[in-house]
Amino acid sequence: MAIAWLPPEYAYTLRVDEKSDVYSFGVVLLELLTGHRPVGDFGEGVDIVQWIKSVTKCRKEEVLSITDPRLKLVPKDEAMHLFFVAMLCIQENSIERPTMKEVVHMLSEFPRHSPDYQSSSSSFAKDPQAKKLEKDGGCRPVFKQDLLV
């Protein structure tokens, strides 16, 4: 059984680094958001990361389909923001993941009541350059310029 907190690159490097920790933190954020354990709830060989990508197609607007019903008092835009940060953390390619400093900044600087947030293009929305989807569940990579919150 695979350990869901280990990043994909561990399979071929057998090493962990700061970006591995970011991946693990992203898994923890997904656990908090969904109320699910990282493995065991989704079928044989499917972990929380694979399940999330499959159900949401990496669209933060689909966050309500995976949010723990016990979090019904959490505003949708805040759940979407947490989901967005978690998805940045679990990028397949470790270079695409933010640093923990960036993660902390994004989590602490939630753009409350900002009209720009609702229409932000920094989501996982489709764009002309994202025609080719990654094989790990249809999620496009997110780059450093997308980290602006």
Q: Is the per-residue pLDDT at 119 higher than 60?
A: no
Q: Work out the pLDDT band at 40, boundaries 50, 70, 90.
A: confident
How does the average pLDDT of the chain come out, rounded? Answer: 74
Say what the pTM is: 0.70
pLDDT score recorded for residue 7: 74
Other Cβ atoms less than 10 A from the Cβ of 57: the count is 15
pLDDT score recorded for residue 9: 67
Q: Is the per-residue pLDDT at 127 higher than 60?
A: no
For the chain, the DSSP string reads ---TTS-TTHHHH----HHHHHHHHHHHHHHHHH---SBSSS-TT-BHHHHHHHHHTT-GGGGGGTS-GGGTTS-HHHHHHHHHHHHHHT-SSGGGSPPHHHHHHHHHT--TT-HHHHT-S-SS---GGG-S--TTTSPPP--GGGG--
- What are the domain boundaries of the chain? 16-108+132-147
pLDDT score recorded for residue 18: 82
Superfamily of domain 16-108+132-147: Transferase(Phosphotransferase) domain 1 (1.10.510.10)
Indicate the residue type of 84.
F
Tens of pLDDT, residue by residue over 65-95, are: 999 999 888 888 999 999 999 999 999 999 9
Q: Is the per-residue pLDDT at 45 higher than 90?
A: no
Over residues 88-115, the mean pLDDT reads: 85
Joined tokens for residue 33: 């958001």
Q: Is the per-residue pLDDT at 109 higher than 80?
A: yes
pLDDT > 70: percent of the chain: 64
CB 60 within 8 A of CB 94: no
